[in-house]
Amino acid sequence: MTTRHERVQLPMMQPLRRPSIIDQAELELRNGIYYGDLRPGDAVPEVQVSRQMGISRSSLREACQRLVRDGLLTQIPGRGLFVTHMDAETMSDFIDYRLGIEMQAATIVAERVARLRSTGHGEKVEILLAPLRACLERSRTSMAAEEVIEAGNADLDLHQQLAELSRNRFLVTAMNTIVILTRMGSFSDPLGFGVRADITSTLEDLVEALSRGDASRARALLRESLQELARRLRSGEETVEDTEVVRDPDLLESTAPEWPTLGEGDATS
């Protein structure tokens, strides 16, 4: 038996650290893509961006390589780095990937709800699903105010929250990149950024299926919604199989992002 005075061998632990300059630069680049400051096809000029951020070009390169790895940036030899453009083939592959991640997350959450209800803890279901209902209300309010980009944000936030509720860190990590890739797909639409006119009711159906613990229905709704998204973005049409799209004409063009100063010092190498 080990006494309180005996030395206990602990597992090796990594020292904790604050986010590095590279982590911060990566986050700023991701946000720039997500919020549309950097659009598909836009160049990421190394000298200009590193100077604006106040970091070295080598640090920026490392941050950019993380985005290349995740498919957010594309490196073209002799030309530089560009925000990835989601062509039809890429979009098809991406939707298959997103379906696998999201349907698993929905299954986990629906099964957890079903267990809560079957064991007499139905009151905990609303607490569990409160983040999804908050996103649903944001979607409803945004669509009523014709704020298309905010409606899109609410939609993606709901899907991110669904992954968070699964409590599976691998699904959460995958979804962090998926929401940005989805946004890139929307900005790749030649007709401009848009959302389904019935997006709120679509999300409401999903939340209600989860609230009933109906995993099969939740998966079916996700499949229908994502397949419609893929067809619409591939076709570049206003309406696909009676699905009306609401667009924001002010989101057709991007503006040059204003990068924050991260302050690393020498930004020349």
Domains in the chain: ranges and CATH: 21-83 (1.10.10.10), 88-251 (1.20.120.530)
Measured CA to CA, the distance from residue 57 to residue 62 in angstroms comes to 9
Nearest to 159 by CA among 74, 218, 228: 218
Measured CA to CA, the distance from residue 45 to residue 26 in angstroms comes to 15
pLDDT value of position 143:
95
pLDDT value of position 16:
41
pLDDT value of position 202:
95
* Sheet of strand 239-240, all strands in order from the earlier edge strand to the far edge: 194-196, 243-247, 239-240
Report the sign of the C-alpha dihedral through residues 200, 131, 138, 154, in that order: negative
The C-alpha angle 90, 253, 262, rounded to 5 degrees, equals: 85
Nearest to 47 by CA among 37, 57, 32, 38: 57
Buried b (16+ CB within 10 A) or exposed e, 154-188: bbbbbbbbbbbbbebeebbebbebbbbbbbbbbbb
Can you say how many angstroms the Cα of residue 131 is from the centroid of all Cα atoms in its chain? Answer: 16
Residue segments in the chain with a per-residue pLDDT below the cut of 50:
1-2, 4-5, 16
Measured CA to CA, the distance from residue 65 to residue 178 in angstroms comes to 17
Cβ atoms within 10 Å, residue 20: 14
pLDDT value of position 229:
83
Residue 86 contacts residue 184 (beta carbons within 8 Å): yes
261: burial class by Cβ within 10 Å (0-12, 13-18, 19+)?
exposed
Look up residue 138 and give its amino acid.
Answer: R
pLDDT value of position 252:
56
Measured CA to CA, the distance from residue 114 to residue 129 in angstroms comes to 13
Please list the helix, strand and coil fractions of the chain in percent, rounded to the nearest 5, in that order.
60, 5, 30
Give the CA diameter of the chain. Answer: 73
